[in-house]
Amino acid sequence: MYIYLPDDRDGLPDLVHELSSNPVALLHGKVVPDRKVLVGELQIPKFDVSLQADVSRLLADLGLDLTLFRPAGHSFSEMVALAEADDEDMLPPMAVPSIIQQCSVRVNERGTVAAAATELEILGFGMGGPEPVVDFVADHPFLFFIKEDRSRVVLFAGQVLDPSSPR
């Protein structure tokens, strides 16, 4: 987990703007320090965030049209193929009118738990020198990212606006 804590207590909007206007700044640049620093006091609040969203329109805007398709040759074919069907062209067309994405992240003294799920509604067929010591006290709004280290893919991203509130 990576926590991006702005230096200024009201600096979260500027940090969000910097990261959204220059995504490379997420991994490099002035947002992330050039080198590792020793951390003195470390305080991270407990928090629990979740989001559920219908991403159907977003995916349609990106060009994914699942309103009507034949399952043969698509990633859903193994879910709907009948054992006795020899010809995949005989399978009826399907539609995916709704795709719901839900994710949650919980951080407490035992660690971090992150989970994500996707629900598809399918219609049609049924289914240098001394290191300085830096205190890191997240007592004001901050961003967090959970990234897979090898690929650097961001799996979860969020912001905590009120660290004093556990929810």
Residue whose token pair is 């897979």: 148
Q: pLDDT band at 69, cuts 50/70/90?
A: low
Written as six digits, the tokens of 143 are: 């961003």
Homologous superfamily assigned to 2-53+104-160: Alpha-1-antitrypsin, domain 1 (2.30.39.10)
* Cα–Cα distance measured from residue 15 to residue 35, given in angstroms and rounded to the nearest whole number: 19
Q: pLDDT band at 88, cuts 50/70/90?
A: low
Q: CA distances (Å), 155 to each of 24, 75, 87, 146, 164, in order?
A: 16, 22, 38, 6, 25
Residue 11 has pLDDT above 80, yes or no: yes
User: In which element (H, E) is residue 17 found?
Assistant: helix 12-21
Instruction: Tell me the average pLDDT of the chain.
Output: 76
Quote the pLDDT of residue 78.
52
Residue 167 has pLDDT above 60, yes or no: no
